[in-house]
Structure 1
């Protein structure tokens, strides 16, 4: 798919997360799907669910929902991208997850949940503060009294951003380079994903596939205020799913909000 940079904000979730993105999203046993990443995530969510049902906002291909369901937690998922839902339906174990097509900020499903969760920076896919606030309100509306809303999100590092250096490289891996172009006035960020075959030789080595994903970054304190607007309070914040202390040097956080 060819993306016109002038209309990235107006692209639908089906266009941003199309069939190609859905079929290449999972990395079984590696990266975000490695046991080192996934096991602590699922362990923590099982504990936070406290024996009740869970709702995943932006369930995607079921990376977290399926192993969580295997641990005995009933899971419902909301997902805006139909290609991602199609990929979820083809994944072993997906029959244990109830998947609903819809927007994580507005779509309601039946029932109450002891846990609502939103992982892997996905709240930043909502591109306005208003939409992010509505996401918190939607989460709170699905929670039973005493229920928890969990967000995993990166912490923006703006120390290297300036008018003369408006972009940051966030990943350099074999066959992949990622960089973020950042607008500090609007808290908007455009991730550029450059993928290529590092083993290619000759003219084809110069060919690369470039993808773009728009985000609105959110500070932890801003999230806390959104939670209060939705009637929730911060219960805990750690640097990762294993419970490491959150400090000024942390590059991400797992924040748990609780409905009274």
Structure 2
């Protein structure tokens, strides 16, 4: 029955169907607002579940702190099926080997396969009979990733289905890298924004000190540094407090808090 279903899928997947799948994969590869790696891969795993014939569950996992304990970034399953969890996938097994060696692995029947008895037994208990694991081509730093599909039928993932999943792994790599790039870029933008805001605040505080103590720019910055060192307070926090105090007309109190008195001002002249 599995073979017939696969052949039916092949007949169905003509030029038009392949174009539709390609368009949908391109769409799911795009990032939505505030998307991150986990969110993007979650949407992708759901698409895999709907695309691969006989697929009852799909996961995207990456190398964890220890090779035998992969981190599950995305997991989904058909209604009534248990989504594979980290506990089901850890230890010696095809998934860990695929992550370690970046090579495909396949289990045709979890009830009879003897290569990874512990792994097979855990999946068989959850009703999964066949598994296909393919490395995801990604530029992920410091580790590897794999796409895994599960079926409740034995011998479900033949060569034809293997090729379909192989196509999906390429898009999984695109999703992974795009999401990671997006996340890194957003983080960099946020850091730059904070740096610019901090620089502006420090400049304002420096100007206030220059005017109050009648010193030049170098002297004003020296006062800020001295206040930071004297009170073990970050330079940014000192500047923010001084600017806020000036706005609230409590500038003199803030100067006293940071030990910025006439003596300190005279030292910068």
TM-score (norm 2): 0.25
Structure 1 or 2: larger helix share?
2
Larger Rg: 2
